[in-house]
A and B are shown apart, each in its own frame.
Chain A
Amino acid sequence: MIELENLGKSFGETRALSGVSLTMAEGSFTSLLGPSGCGKSTTLRLIAGLDRPTTGRIRIAGRDVTGLTAAERNIAMVFQSYALYPHMTVRQNINLPLAMRNMTRVERLPVLDRLLPSARRKMADHAARVREVARLLEIDALLERKPAELSGGQKQRVAVGRALVRDPIAFLFDEPLSNLDAKLRIQMRGEIVDLHRRTGRTFVYVTHDQAEAMSMSDRIAVFMAGEIRQVATPRELFERPASREVAAFVGDRPINLIDVAATGAALPPPFDGFAIAGPALPPRVTLGIRPETLDLVPEGPLAGRVGLIEYLGSEAMVTFHLSGAGAEDVTLRAALDAGHGLPAEGDAVSLALDAAAAHLFDADTGRRLDARLVARDGAAAAGSGLRSLP
């Protein structure tokens, strides 16, 4: 278990991190997700012991490690750039943490390591362990190569091997897949999840790619501007984002965010087909509508004209310019199933939206509102067999 308690980190005048508290259960897979510069990598470096926090405490397996060095914490880390030692073979790279941890300085000396019985025994143990890990990661054929002779994916595996070899308490990953091509990235995702299952260790995974975080982790901590904005399971994060920023960051397709002035429960055009059900609303509300909750229907509550169509194969992202009073400049992007035929640019169409799946935020603070969007009488209801063209 890794516990972060009110962590803060400043670099000179710059505050990189403040008030970060997070508990990562034993054996869990937690992603730290956020845009670049949000403090997620800083947090990981604090957990690793590569940096010291300005405030707060870190506990690993119940032990306060705030003042300990990286090696004393017995964690392993995989770096974005792999950080393999270029002058060492794959075997030596994987072996290094074992030698550093188990052998005395005398035993590591170049000639003595072959003379001292204790050193020879340890080296034989280590060699067996390196072989085992290499076999597990299917890099046993590469052991005598130098990193310069490896592909990106192979380097990645060696980096994982170096982390795996000494059975650490926890594995830290710092954007490990971002230097790989798209196809390999998807494959490596599966392998890392598999590794997590096999080792049963606590994994902490830093990424800016929400798809990676969503598909791999049990829990995601969303970082923004040096703070944690939400900690939740991937499903919760997608279905109940705590704020407008989180909603904008999570999800494969960018969410539509539209500010409207709400007078009581009623909404102004073009959303006058809907109302807000909930207590005490702020004067301005942000509607969060995911592209996949929009669909074309005859006589739907939203009228508009088709703009740009981005064809993606199984689906298409279609931009709609809403029409009618109060709808100037309001555009919605919808993900439409391409299999049923698509409208043409310039067509006048009407849309329906799944009101229950819409998110409501306070337009001023960005916080999620404890309220629901509901369709008013006469407006097309959500999810009632809408898959048809006008």
Chain B
Amino acid sequence: MSAPRPRLREALTDLWLAGPATVAMLVLIFIPALIVGVLSFTDYLFGASTFHWVGLDNYIELFTDRTGRRAVTNTLLYVAVVMPTSIVLSLVAALGVHAVARWSRGLANVLRTAYFMPVAATLVAMATVWQMLLHPNLGLVNQVLALAGMAGQEWLSDRGLVLYTLAVIGIWETIGYNMILFLAGLAAIPEHLYDAAAVDGAERGWERFWTVTWPLLGPTTLFVLVVTATRSFRVFETVATLTNGGPAFASDTLVFAMYREGFVYFKAGYSGAITMVFFFFVLTLTLIQLRLVEKRVHYR
């Protein structure tokens, strides 16, 4: 009976190490998520003592109601703009900073810090700065445009423009983070592969990029794709602080609608349905990316 004792002790230690976090995950994430899932099939209002099963009504409303549809399409459009643009721009920035680091470490560090600033700063505070920049009369953006002889825009109150304005802010916010990830990926590419490529004839920047840099950044790019997709799906702070989803729901997004329906109108059922749809989008997108890209990035 002496042999199993240490194994039991080890097992208890393992449980003690993993247990609290698991319990917290269950209590704070999985169980509430399950409850939200269940609520999405009801007409439950926060604080109410009863509810009725309504089947798929909440989902039908989300996809047929003009406001609901608006939130879905706005979010998809926002992701479609932010994700590729941010990834391309951050890759370009990372390639630039990586090249600068060869001849000036100091300048590269300054650039790195500058790009990372939006990530480290509170987005709500930054939104205030954007609000000032984009102010129709006093904002720097319109004043610069005026100097160039161009007409200023109502960046945050023009229905056709507001979503793109938010997308630009979203890109600005995510570039720094993505660039740091790409920089780490670039630093991990072994120098001798570039040497081999040079000997093999891939000498021009473009050929080096396609032969070595881009394929070897595969794992990084996959990670950046997933992170950027989820981050941009979650867009909330800029909507809440700059536009409140307006004008006329032109900048309404899934998470903002979720917040509004759940915490302003207390429609827990409807809000739950939005949450489920949001979850489904993010999950699908991540799975597609993993499926498509994983085969190409693990070099097997």
Contacts and interface: CB of A to CB of B under 8 A. Distances in A.
A71 B198 contact: yes
B122 to A, nearest CB: 40
A330 B193 CA distance: 50
Interface stretch (A96-104, A213-221, A229-237, A254-262): A96-104
A7 interface: no
Nearest to B212: A85
B203 A71 contact: yes
Given A70-B203, A87-B218, A100-B202, A146 B299 contact: yes
B207 A77 contact: no
Contact of B198 (A70, A81, A88, A147): A70
A49 interface: yes
Interface string B195-227: 111111111000100011001101000000000
A83 B296 contact: no
B192 interface: yes
A162 B195 CA distance: 13
Nearest to B202: A100
Given A86-B216, A100-B202, A77 B195 contact: yes
A178 interface: no
**B interface SS class:** helix
Contact of A83 (B192, B203, B207): B192
A369 interface: no
Contacts of B195: 45, 48, 50, 70, 77, 79, 83
Interface string B260-300: 00000000000000000000000000000000000011011
A85 B300 contact: no
A100 B196 contact: no
Given A70-B203, A96-B211, A101-B201, A87 B299 contact: yes
A10 interface: no
A148 interface: yes
A148 B299 contact: yes
A69 interface: yes
A85 B190 CA distance: 10
A87 B199 contact: no
Contacts of A88: 215
Given A87-B215, A148-B300, A81 B201 contact: no
B200 A96 contact: yes
A161 to B, nearest CB: 12
A124 B195 CA distance: 27
A140 B26 CA distance: 53
A133 interface: no
A75 interface: yes
- Residue among B193, B196, B199, B216 facing the most chain A CB atoms (10 A cut-off): B199
Nearest to A165: B200
Contact of A48 (B199, B203, B296, B299): B199
A50 B198 contact: yes
Nearest to A72: B203
A192 to B, nearest CB: 18
A218 B190 CA distance: 33
Interface in A92-117: 96-97, 100-101
Contacts of A147: 299
A83 B190 contact: yes
A143 to B, nearest CB: 15
A149 interface: yes
Nearest to B201: A100
B200 A69 contact: no
B277 to A, nearest CB: 36
Contacts of A48: 195, 199
A87 B203 contact: no
Contacts of B300: 146, 148-149
Given A79-B195, A148-B300, A85 B215 contact: yes
Contacts of A80: 192
A147 B201 CA distance: 20
Among A49, A86, A162, find the residue whose CB has the most chain B CB atoms closer than 10 A.
Answer: A86
A87 B200 contact: no
Given A85-B212, A87-B218, A79 B299 contact: no
A353 interface: no
Given A100-B207, A148-B299, A149-B300, A83 B202 contact: no
B243 to A, nearest CB: 42
Contacts of B192: 79-81, 83
Contacts of B296: 87
B193 A83 contact: yes
A196 B158 CA distance: 74
A48 B211 CA distance: 19
Interface of A: 45, 48-50, 69-71, 75-77, 79-81, 83-88, 96-97, 100-101, 146-149, 162
Given A86-B299, A96-B202, 11 more contacts: A45-B195, A48-B199, A50-B195, A77-B196, A83-B195, A85-B197, A97-B200, A100-B202, A101-B201, A146-B299, A147-B299
26 contacts: A45-B195, A49-B199, A50-B195, A70-B198, A70-B203, A71-B201, A71-B203, A75-B199, A77-B196, A79-B195, A79-B196, A81-B190, A83-B192, A85-B193, A85-B196, A85-B197, A85-B212, A85-B215, A86-B299, A87-B216, A87-B299, A88-B215, A96-B202, A100-B200, A100-B211, A162-B196
